[in-house]
Amino acid sequence: MKTGKNNIAIGFLTMGAFMAYGFLLIYLRDFAPGKEEWVASYSSGKHFEARLAHVHGNLFAFLNIVIGYLLLHFQSKLSNVKTISWLALIGLLMPIGILAEVYLGAPPIFVLIGAIAMTASVVWLGVAFLKLKSINP
């Protein structure tokens, strides 16, 4: 299987899920019973964490799409493409971990693992492209 395909597919699916989650946040802000309390906690607590998960979920999904596309088209010229691909996918633990903290009381370990993995994948891919002699796929 071509490395990068799963990043693209999972990236789009994750983006769709976090976009749908955005509709839940709009409902909580504008239509839910007790919306005033939700709006009052805009920059703290669960409200802030929920928005943080929404933003990072879409960002990390988009990064997986871009990383997957680049790996798919340049895998014959780049080294460690499978590792970069897996690190980007593991990076999705960050926004999922934030949601797990908010709704399930999970520890922040998933957030940290995801953040470190995504950062590593982006830096590693950047270094791999710096080492390229030619950019023609």
Does residue 137 carry a pLDDT above 60?
no
Measured CA to CA in angstroms, residue 2 lies from 9, 83, 97 at distances of 12, 13, 28
- Count of structural domains within the chain: 1
Q: What is the mean pLDDT of residues 43-53?
A: 87
Q: Which range of residues forms the domain containing residue 119?
A: 5-130
Q: 90 lies in a domain? A: yes
Does residue 39 carry a pLDDT above 90?
no
The two three-digit tokens of residue 120, written as one number: 């590593």
Q: 89 lies in a domain? A: yes
Q: What is the pLDDT of residue 29?
A: 87
Four-CA torsion 126, 116, 70, 13, nearest 10 degrees: -160
Q: Which residues contact 94 (CB under 8 A, 6 or more apart)?
A: 56, 60, 110, 111, 113, 114, 115, 117, 118
Q: In which region does residue 21 sit, left (phi positive, over 0), alpha (psi from -120 to 50) or beta (all else)?
A: alpha
Q: 32 lies in a domain? A: yes
Q: 136 lies in a domain? A: no
Q: 137 lies in a domain? A: no
Q: 73 lies in a domain? A: yes
Q: What is the pLDDT of residue 86?
A: 98
Q: 16 lies in a domain? A: yes
pLDDT in tens, 78-109: 999 999 999 999 999 999 999 999 999 999 99
Q: What is the mean pLDDT of residues 59-63?
A: 98
What is the distance between the alpha carbons of residues 129 and 123, in angstroms, rounded to a whole number? Answer: 10
